[in-house]
Amino acid sequence: QGRLILGIESSCDETSAALVRQDGTVLANVVASQLVHASYGGVVPELASREHLRAIVPVTREAMHLAGEAVLAEKQVLRRVAPQDDNLQGQDGDLQGLKYSDLAAVAVTEGPGLAGALLVGITFAKSVAFAAGVPLIAVNHLEGHIHAVLMESAGAFEGKAPLLAVVVSGGHTHLYLASKDVQGLWRYRNVGRTVDDAAGEAFDKVAKLLGLPYPGGPWIDALARHGVADRELFAVAQIKQKATGHVAPKLVKDAAAREQEPDDATRFDLSFSGLKTAVRRYVELHGMQPAIAARFEALKAAGLDKTKPRGEALAAALGHFDAATLNLIASFQDAAVRNIVRAAFGAAEHFGAHGMLISGGVAANSALRAAMSARAEKQRIAIAFPSIALSTDNAAMIAAAAWPKFVAGRFAEDTLEPTPQLRL
């Protein structure tokens, strides 16, 4: 039996394959980001499916190859210290990649995500599992994001239950109380979510409003450093909180939803659409639209709409911004961050969480990391973020989330289908 789980992720606009050991060691994690969507200002589902279809085999081939090299390199080290070690038998001279026999299972994202995009990953994962004769494991994408943090934490959260898991991505903004059951399977209870836009969506929409390329989150992060945030500019939306105590029982049709979200829960919901509207009003009030439209064209003409906001590209882009716009960007980011910090720490305190895990694309935001870390230190609560590489969508987190399921024998049916609205 092999010792690696092959993870496959294709829920949105990244095609990814990864090989991960039970202890969380990542032997390879290959991510192909789809650039075709940049000029549309958002992900186009039909294009996403086609791009996944084109990328899935090369990406997996590359991951197998890299993992094969990683195993070989380690084997040489192992040979020196433990010549009798037979873990890696049969790998001699294998630089072409891994073999099916190295796989313990294939894990794939079941949802939530785009139906057509998920379908590509699921179909491919089924085929590989079938050919390799190993089990298929279905993973919830949101659980994957949470495991992106756990897999790197080296047991730092062991025995710290319950944990508060904060998932802030382009499609989702959720707060979960997480703990392990007797089988070692993770259980999650949703204690807060956005009532309108997801956090990353807010970053992306505001970025679009200001003539920045898609996805806008990284651009806002980079540009905000060059502006001065005005705390008074945008009020942070009040978290809607149901009082504890007697709440009239309401009928929940969906049994799964009822189980995950008890009616009597105090909730720590968030809202981002008011903030987005406030930015739009500010732009209109100050007559900034012509400058924004001109900047959008200028960035595009300079080819900056398809680059990451780093180094020379960022320096070149900065030339197109005035102080007022940079301050506006900084003020928006500051308000969005305060919004998340308030909900997360409100929930952590209320539920007595002993640790906090922040994940999803927005967890890459430098201001969010700084604010959350500072608050956690003040409140003496253990906190962790994934490395930047594991913050955005990737297959390593899917494989990592699959390991406890593998151990508990929770395998997917041969009839597994995408579940675009899958809940956690």
The residue ranges that bind ligand KG4 (CB under 6 A) are 12, 169-171, 200, 203-204, 215-218, 221, 360-362, 364-365, 392-393
For ligand KG4, the closer CB: 37 or 405: 37
Is 204 annotated to bind ligand?
yes
Question: Cα(201)–Cα(274) distance, rounded to whole angstroms?
Answer: 13
141 assigned ligand-binding residue: yes
Per DSSP, 213 falls in state: P
CB of 422 to ligand KG4, least distance (A): 13
Q: Is 387 annotated as a binding residue?
A: no
- The answer to whether the annotation marks 170 as part of a ligand binding site is yes
C-alpha to C-alpha distance for 422 and 158, rounded to whole angstroms = 27
- Which 163-192 residues touch Zn ion, going by CB under 5 A? 169
Scanning 81-89, 161-169, 202-210, 340-348 for contacts with Zn ion by CB under 5 A, the matching segment is: 161-169
Burial bucket for residue 335 (CB in 10 Å: 0-12, 13-18, 19+): buried
7 is in the binding site of which of Zn ion, ligand KG4, none (Cβ under 5 to 8 A by kind)? none
Q: Which does residue 221 touch among ligand KG4, Zn ion, none (CB within 5 to 8 A, set by kind)?
A: ligand KG4
Give the count of alpha carbons within 13 A of 296, CB side only.
Answer: 19
# residues near Zn ion by CB under 5 A: 2
Q: Is 147 annotated in some ligand binding site?
A: no
The reply to whether 155 sits in an annotated binding site is no
Query: The tokens 């202890």 sit on which residue?
Result: 23
Nearest to Zn ion of 147, 295 (CB atom): 147
Q: Is 391 annotated as a binding residue?
A: no
Q: Which does 305 bind (CB under 5 to 8 A by kind): Zn ion, ligand KG4, none?
A: none
* CA neighbours closer than 13 Å in the CB half-sphere of residue 66: 17
- Number of other CB atoms surrounding residue 140 within 10 Å: 20
Residue 204 contacts which entry, ligand KG4, Zn ion, none (Cβ below 5-8 A, type-dependent)? ligand KG4
CA distances in angstroms from 131 to 22, 62, 122, 167, 375, listed in the order given? 22, 18, 14, 34, 49
Torsion of CA 293, 299, 304, 309, to 10 degrees: -70
Residue spans of beta strands (DSSP E) within 273-423 = 355-359, 382-384
Peptide bond into 112 cis (omega under 30): yes
Nearest-approach distance from CB 270 to Zn ion, in angstroms? 17
Q: Report the partner that residue 362 touches, choosing among ligand KG4, Zn ion, none (CB closer than 5 to 8 A by kind).
A: ligand KG4
Q: Please report whether residue 393 would count as binding Zn ion according to CB under 5 A.
A: yes
Of 398, 308, 400, residue with least CA distance to 10: 398
- Residues tagged in the binding site annotation: 141, 145, 167-171, 204, 217, 221, 365, 393
Name the binding residues for substrate.
167-171, 204, 217, 221, 365
Annotated binding site for Fe cation: 141, 145, 393
Q: Which residues bind Zn ion (CB under 5 A)?
A: 169, 393
